């Protein structure tokens, strides 16, 4: 038998990619400072969460569907910390003032609170694989596909998903369960995802597949 015959078959169908036994839902940075009306993004930085807040119901629905189908759930949360953020991060952002450890702003929003049996990964940069055990945990659980949701689609979701792709994880992007502050940036990254990484689909399509296993 040649090595060609030993390679796994190519998987392209959405239902095959989303099989609960080897799929994980990764919810990215749905934290109070980024999402909530009283978070630092809005209250202190004067930015808008008008594009972010509408995805909360879709994220909730996707999370509940994953739980019902026994899909592995991982929550990512970024933390600002003088000792753990990189020099480049510090040079750009300065002293920690947002999503600081042990503050309300750093906490995941009430609607998406992790359960005791779900994985929570703390990261100190945009990319959830850098300096964390995310890859080791996913491999331990035999995960091959990652469903991506959360914020910002053009920063933390993009960087983590691209790294995951390079590590061999097939991505599926929940189009209506991720957002950015900018429609232009969001639309551009969705186009990039679809062309270079994996399927970009509505949460309803993902949930329908997961319902079939119940």
What are residue 122's phi and psi, to 5 degrees? -95, 130
pLDDT of residue 67: 98
pLDDT of residue 5: 87
If one counts every other C-beta atom within 10 angstroms of the C-beta of residue 81, the result is 14
Q: Spell out, as residue ranges, where the chain has pLDDT lower than 50.
A: none
Helix 156-167 with 183-196: angle, nearest 10 deg:
10
pLDDT of residue 41: 84
62: in domain: yes
Token readout for 10 is 């190519």
CB of 35 within 8 A of CB of 152?
no
Find the domain containing 118 and state its range.
19-211
Q: What pTM was estimated for this model as a whole?
A: 0.96
pLDDT of residue 199: 98
pLDDT of residue 43: 82
Q: CATH code at 157?
A: 3.40.50.850
pLDDT of residue 48: 85
7: in domain: no
84: in domain: yes
pLDDT of residue 167: 98
CB of 180 within 8 A of CB of 152?
yes
64: in domain: yes
pLDDT of residue 194: 98
Domain tally, the chain: 1
- pLDDT tens for 95-143 read 888 999 999 999 999 999 999 999 999 999 999 999 999 999 999 999 9
pLDDT of residue 1: 79
């Amino acid at each position: 038998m040649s090595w060609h015959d030993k390679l796994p078959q190519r998987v392209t169908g959405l239902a095959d990619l989303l099989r609960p036994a080897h799929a994980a839902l990764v919810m990215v940075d749905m934290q109070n400072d980024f999402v909530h009306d009283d978070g630092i993004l809005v209250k202190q930085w004067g930015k808008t969460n008008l594009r972010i807040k509408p995805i909360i119901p879709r994220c909730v629905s996707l999370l509940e569907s994953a739980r019902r189908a026994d899909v592995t759930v991982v929550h990512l949360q970024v933390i600002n910390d003088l000792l753990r953020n990189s020099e480049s991060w510090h040079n750009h952002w300065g002293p920690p003032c947002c999503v600081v450890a042990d503050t309300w702003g750093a906490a995941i929003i009430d609607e998406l609170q992790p359960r005791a049996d779900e994985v929570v990964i703390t990261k100190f940069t945009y990319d959830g694989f850098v300096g964390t055990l995310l890859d080791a945990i996913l491999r331990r659980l035999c995960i091959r596909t990652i469903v991506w949701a959360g914020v910002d689609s053009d920063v933390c979701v993009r960087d983590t998903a691209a790294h995951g792709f390079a590590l061999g994880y097939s991505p599926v992007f929940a189009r209506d369960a991720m957002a950015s502050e900018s429609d232009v940036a969001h639309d551009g990254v969705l186009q990039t995802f679809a062309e270079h990484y994996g399927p970009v689909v509505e949460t309803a399509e993902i949930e329908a597949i997961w319902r079939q296993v119940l």
